[in-house]
Structure 1
C-alpha cells in the first residue's frame, strides 16, 4: 500500500523525526521495500536483464552491518494479491508505468526498472546469510505492523503507510537509515537513523487524534481507494499552497474525536446514491490499518504460518508452508485463488513479442498441476471438452499491458485426470527414481523434475 505524496509531505518538515541510534534490538524489515532500495543503491545494471552480483553483495553487506551492531533482523515479504484482489486497478497502472520506463531504457533513455529475478536473488541472499524471513499470503503491511508491535521494535521500510499504522517502536524510513555510516562509541557500534514521531505530526494540526490518520490515508487515495471518490469534498477543505489538500484535510479531521465520527461527517456531505457504496468502501479501507490476527512470531519461533485466508484457499499444507518459506513464488497463490497473474515487465525490444512467450509451455504445465487440484477442491465442473480453466496473464503486447487467457495444459499420467492430486505431489517426488520425465503435450516437450 501507499499514500501518494505523504512521504514528501512528512519529510519536508523534519521536525516530525527524532534521531535514533539503532543497535542491540530486533528490527522488522519490509522485505519488498528493502530489495527495491538495495538494488538501485548497489549500482547494479538494470538495462540488460539484471546485474545480480553487486546486488547480492549489497544485501550481504547490509545484514553484516546489522549484525555488527547487535541488530536481529526479521524480514517480511509480500505474497500474492489476496482473494478479494482489491489492488487490481493499481497493479495494472503500475505495470503500465513500468512498461513505459522499460521502453525508455530500451532506447537509451533514463529511468529504473527492477529486473526479473531481483526478488529471487534477494531471497537467495537471505538464505545464504541465514536471515530469518517469511513470505506472507497477501500484502504484508498489517503483519509487519503486528509483529513489530508484539516485540516493541521499529519497522524499516519505504512504504508511506507506516506513517499511518500505530507502531510501538516507531517507523524508520530506509531513506534515513544510514547503514553505510556505522559509528562507534563506548557502549558499542550503532547505525544512525531517524524515527517518525506520530505525536509531533498530529500536534502540528491542533487536536488531531492518531486514530483518525487511517481515514486521512483512505481519503488521500491509497492503493485500495480511488481518490476521485472524495474529489468534491476535498476541494472544499483544500488550503492554498504546497500540500494544500493534505494540510486542509488534516486540519478538518482534527475536529473529530475518532474515525467513526469523521466518516459519518464525510458521508453526510455525499449524495444519497453514493452514500452506501462509499460507506462500505470506508469500512473495508479502514480495516487495512487494523492489527493483523496473523502471529508471525509463531512462524519465526516454530516455523508455522497460520493465516485464515490462506487456509481457506484449499491448498495442501505442504504448499502453504513452501509459500511461507519463500520456496514458491506468489504466482502460485494468485493462479489458484484468482486464475490470474502479472508477468514482470522487462527491458527488451518492444517491437518483438514478450520474452515471457519463451516460457509459456512451462507455465501451462504449472497451471495444469495447480488448477486440477483447485478444481477438485472447489468441485467446479470442467468444460465439456474436459479442459481446465484458463489463466489470465497480464503481459506486454508491444508497448501496452494486456491480458491474455492461457489454457492450462492437460497432462498425461501420472499427472493427468486419474493421477495424483497436488496434495500428493511431494510424495510422488520423493518416491520417484526418475530424475527427469519428458512429457509430450500438444507439440511441445517440457521437462518436469521429480527430484
Structure 2
C-alpha cells in the first residue's frame, strides 16, 4: 500500500555458489579489502601486487582473484593473518584494526525484517537498550519520525546538512534554530520551572544538544540549549512516553506558537497546505536578511503550480477536473518551455529559499513528533528549486508573471488567499 521502492532480493548462498566460494564468513573481509568501506586500499597494494592469480579476467579480475584466494581459508582471522604478512611491519597493527572494524559492520542485525513487513512487529535489542518509549520506536520503524529525532534523543547530537547557499552568510539552518530548540525540549523534557529560574540556574538545568553546522566553509560544533516548554508539556503526567496523551489541541497550539502563526489565519487554507503556509509565515518573520516580496511571490506561485499539477494529474477517475484548470496547466507547461531571458544565478535568493527549506524540514519533524496536529503536505509536488528560481527572476523583470494561473479562477483565488495570509 502506498509509495514504495522496487527492490531485488540477493542471497549470500547463491553468490558463494556462483563463485565456488563455500565459506560466506569470509565475505566481510572480501568486502573490506575490495574498497567497499573506509579502508585505505592503497596500503593493501603490496598484498595485491604479490599474490598470484590470473591477470586476464577483465574489469573484475582482481575481485574474482581475491575471492579465489580467500577460499583456501576456513576462518576470517586466519585469512587476515595471512594478508598482513604481505604488509610492512609498521602498517600491520593499524590495518588489522581498520579491517576488523569494517568486518564488524557486516554482522547480521538481530532485527527480523520479516516480522516487521508481514506483521508490523519491530523488535531490536539495541533499540530497547536505548530506553526509548515504545511509541517512538514504532514511529521510527515506520518512518513516521525522522532519524534527526533519534540522533537528538539518543546521541544528543545532530548534523545539519549544507545546501547551495551563500557561504559568507550565517548557515541557512540558523533561521530554524527556535524550531529545533522546541524539538529538543520535547525530547529531553526541560523542567517546568526552568523558565522562571535565574539565567545561571537556567543554563545549568536546560539540556543541550550538540549541533554540527557550518561557519562559512568550516564545520562548526555548537551546543544548543533546549527550549523551555509550556506547562502542559512539562508536567510530570506527560513525559515523552506519554506525549501522545497531551490533548491534540495543545499539541497543535505548541506547533503554531513555534511557527508564530494562529490557527484562525490558516483556516482559509486547504488542510494539506496549512503547514507549508505556516512555515512561510515563519520564514518571512524570522529570516535574515529579510525576505523580498518577489521571493515570497515566487515561492507561493510555485506552491500553486504544485497544487495545479496535483489536481490535473490525479489518477483517481472519480475526481472531476475543471476544464479551466487543465487549460491553465497546459499554458503553464508552455511557459516552462520558454527560454529564460535572465539566466543569472542569484545566490542571495538561493540562500533565502534554503532558509525556507530548513524551516520546513524542522517544522515537519516537529509536526511528526507531536502526532501531526497539521496534515502533512505532499513534498513531491510542493517544492521545485529550478522553478522557484525562474519565477523569482521573471517576477523581477516581468511582474505580469504573477498572473501565470489567471486562466484558472480556482488557482487564482488560491494564490491570493496564500499571499493575503502570509502578508497579514
Q: TM-score scaled by structure 1?
A: 0.46
Higher Cα Rg, which structure: 2
**Higher-strand-fraction structure:** 1
TM-score by length of 2: 0.48
Q: Which one has a larger percent helix, Structure 1 or Structure 2?
A: 2
